[in-house]
């Protein structure tokens, strides 16, 4: 498993729901957490490592939380802006406005449902990773001019590797 970087096509695919909760899922979650920590991230979605499943891991400082088939059940009308980076876009940050508080329903590695109400950085991280599960990327939040220049610099950086 390795982090896929833009423009890898797997980053644009809508992930599929997990149906079987077995030891493979637990191993995948552990591997994803290891990769996230090794790359100094706070979240990682399965599509970022080439897996088309609705799975993500997040650790904003209170320990790892695994989310399988996550769904936002409720989102506050109050929004906040935060500069977000992404492991799939090294050296790119984007200011993104998102709901300040969310309620998420998901399953754990054993398939058991849980509901969490989140705010602050954890709410932002979950929303960012959920975007990945739907094939949406941080560059999709850019205005057209910044999108153009970001695309151009990403292509140049890829050529120079």
Is 122 annotated as catalytic? no
Rg (CA), the chain: 15
In a domain, residue 1? The reply is: no
pLDDT at 159 over 70: no
Per annotation, catalytic residue among 78, 83, 84, 129: 129
Q: Which whole number is the average pLDDT over 141-158? A: 79
Residue 101, C-beta contacts closer than 8 angstroms, at least 6 positions apart = 75, 76, 78, 117, 118, 119, 123
Give the alpha-carbon dihedral of 60, 11, 112, 28, to 10 degrees: -80
Query: What CATH number is associated with residue 134?
Result: 3.90.45.10
Domain that holds residue 60: 9-159
In a domain, residue 2? The reply is: no
CA–CA gap between residue 97 and residue 2 (Å, rounded)? 29
pTM over 0.85: yes
Give yes or no for a contact between 126 and 132, defined as CB atoms under 8 angstroms apart.
no
Per-residue pLDDT tens for 54-88?
999 999 999 999 999 999 999 999 999 999 999 99
Average pLDDT, the chain: 93
């Amino acid at each position: 498993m390795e982090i896929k970087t833009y423009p890898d096509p797997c980053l644009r695919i809508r992930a599929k729901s997990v149906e079987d909760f077995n030891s493979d899922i637990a191993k995948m979650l552990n591997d994803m957490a290891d990769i996230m920590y090794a790359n100094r991230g706070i979240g990682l979605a399965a599509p970022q490592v080439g897996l088309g499943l609705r799975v993500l891991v997040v650790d904003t400082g209170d320990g790892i939380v695994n989310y399988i088939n996550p769904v936002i059940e409720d989102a506050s009308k109050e929004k906040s802006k935060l500069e977000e980076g992404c492991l799939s876009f090294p050296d790119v940050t984007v200011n993104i406005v998102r709901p300040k508080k969310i309620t998420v329903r998901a399953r754990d590695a054993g398939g058991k449902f849980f509901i969490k109400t989140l705010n602050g950085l954890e709410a932002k991280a979950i929303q960012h990773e959920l975007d990945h599960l739907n094939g949406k990327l941080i560059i999709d939040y850019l205005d057209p001019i910044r999108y153009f220049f970001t695309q151009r610099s990403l292509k140049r950086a890829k050529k120079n590797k």
